[in-house]
Amino acid sequence: MDKIYNPYEKYGVRRVINAATCLTRLGGSIAKPEVYEAMMDASKSFVQIPELQAWAGEKIAKATGAEAGLPTAGANNALMLAAAACIMKGSELEEYDPLKLETWNHITLKMPAHLEGYPTEFIVQKSNRNIYDHTVECVGGRFIEVGSSKAELDEAYTQGKTAAYYYTIRSASGSQPLETVIDVAHSHGVPVIVDAAAELPPRKKLRQYIEMGADLVIFSGGKFLSGPNNSGLLAGKRDLIKLAHLQAYPFHGIGRASKMSRETIVGLGVAIDLYLERDEEAEYREWMRIAEYLADKLGEIQGAKTGIAYHNTIEGEPMVPVCYLELDPDMFTIGAMDLVHMLRDGDPSIEILLEPKFILDEPKGKITINPEFMLEGDSDIVIEEITKILQTNTRP
């Protein structure tokens, strides 16, 4: 097998085969050459950053069907700015214009420690919490946790204190659906923030949550959208996007530390255009081809059971086919998690996942090998390394 190019070898750093999914700690995704060409071109001159943000915001609005949009330094920064916007809704900050470069620091510098009199409560279902929602508290927000009933969602609202309702798509199991949350929130005249950072594909999800009535929606720009890893999208109502912009870089609000270079903003804008042109059906066929190839080859190993499972389903429609691998504990001296770590520790490092759904259903655990971000030649390396590890850890 020909050696695959490792651009990090010159630095003494291992290449990673991404057979897991789009992970920030692996560098996100790989953008198209046109993205980097646009970024290089943008580096050749200066620009008024607020004007460039407005340009990218128009692309975000068009792609999502929202009234307005804002490029952000990742999805986490988008959530921070969304929460800050909801806290400042109805305040004197609405009088200012980010393109006029006035001074409104006396308002934005109140975050997070000096928010007396501002609404800072964010209502969330306990079953809908996730690790990223801590960002809301970083801007001075406070979560009001409720159970998963419409009545509890309604009763948690407090006039003058509730800033917004918060909903994350990825942790929605066991929660009241988004439609219900939107109905309750809007009955009280407060907005709904939707964290949909990792919800692509399919492309139609870009518009789905805005069409449902969400006021602010967050997507990662560096995951499946294939923009720069440190980019994100905030889409929603024009008045809230304006408030988010007033608190973002390059101004001196809560988002100041999360800078986006002019190159990153341009790269994100180009990545959005390219994403809207992608052939989703062709991508699906290629993923299925690789997943089936992996399942066929790994299934030849005695004691290894393989098959096809799916990530990111929408309305029962499978979106990303993955190969799953289950190990017979009577055949091998290692378990699934051991294999995950041994592959990660190899050279090249191979990143695969234990699928949470499978862990809950079957204590033995199943490994998933995701073809979405595997490069040419990666599948044969994955098969070779898994085969080698299992053969050397077979019970006598």
Other beta carbons less than 10 A from residue 203's beta carbon: 15
Q: Does the pLDDT of residue 334 top 70, yes or no?
A: yes
Start-end ranges of CATH 3.40.640.10 in the chain? Answer: 33-277
Question: Tell me, what's the pLDDT at 204?
Answer: 92
Beta bridge partners of 216: 193, 236
372, 22 in Cβ contact below 8 A?
yes
As separate numbers, helices (DSSP H) first and strands (DSSP E) second, the chain gives 14, 13
pLDDT digits (tens, 9 = 90+) for 310-326: 875 555 555 789 999 99
The position carrying tokens 């069907």 is 65
CATH class of 9-27+279-392: alpha beta
Q: Name the residue with higher pLDDT: 157 or 311.
A: 157
pLDDT digits (tens, 9 = 90+) for 221-261: 999 999 999 999 999 999 999 999 999 999 999 999 999 99
Contacts of 320 (CB under 8 A, 6+ apart): 201, 284, 287, 310, 311, 312, 370, 372
**For the residues of 311-325, what is the DSSP string, one character each?**
ES-BTTB--EEEEEE
216, 193 in Cβ contact below 8 A?
yes
Beta bridge partners of 124: 145
Q: Does the pLDDT of residue 358 top 50, yes or no?
A: no
pLDDT digits (tens, 9 = 90+) for 65-106: 999 999 999 999 999 999 999 999 999 999 999 999 889 999
pLDDT digits (tens, 9 = 90+) for 201-232: 889 999 999 999 999 999 999 999 999 999 99
Question: Tell me, what's the pLDDT at 312?
Answer: 56
112, 139 in Cβ contact below 8 A?
yes
Fill in the DSSP letter of residue 97.
-
- The answer to whether the pTM exceeds 0.85 is yes
Contacts of 182 (CB under 8 A, 6+ apart): 165, 192, 212, 213, 214
Averaged pLDDT score across all residues of the chain: 93
Question: Tell me, what's the pLDDT at 309?
Answer: 86
Beta-strand relationship, 353-354 and 68-72: unpaired
Q: Does the pLDDT of residue 360 top 90, yes or no?
A: no
Distance between CA atoms of residues 113 and 115, nearest Å: 6
Fill in the DSSP letter of residue 332.
B
Strands (DSSP E) contained in the chain are: 16-18, 68-72, 121-125, 142-146, 162-168, 192-195, 216-220, 232-236, 304-311, 320-327, 349-351, 353-354, 367-369
Question: Tell me, what's the pLDDT at 171?
Answer: 73
Q: How far is CA 290 from CA 1, 88, 110, 363, 379, in A?
A: 18, 49, 52, 27, 7
Question: Tell me, what's the pLDDT at 173?
Answer: 77
Start-end ranges of CATH 3.90.1150.180 in the chain? Answer: 9-27+279-392
Contacts of 98 (CB under 8 A, 6+ apart): 50, 53, 54, 242, 245, 246, 251
Longest dimension (CA), the chain: 76
Q: With cut-offs at 50, 70 and 90, classify the pLDDT of residue 356.
A: low
Q: Does the pLDDT of residue 280 top 60, yes or no?
A: yes
Percent of the chain residues topping a pLDDT of 70: 95
CATH topology of domain 33-277: Aspartate Aminotransferase; domain 2 (3.40.640)
Q: With cut-offs at 50, 70 and 90, classify the pLDDT of residue 361.
A: very low
Percent of the chain residues topping a pLDDT of 90: 87
- Nearest partner of 325 among 374, 289, 362, judged by Cα: 362
Question: Tell me, what's the pLDDT at 366?
Answer: 84
The position carrying tokens 């190839």 is 293
Q: With cut-offs at 50, 70 and 90, classify the pLDDT of residue 363.
A: very low
**For the residues of 164-183, what is the DSSP string, one character each?**
EEEEESTT-TTSPPHHHHHH
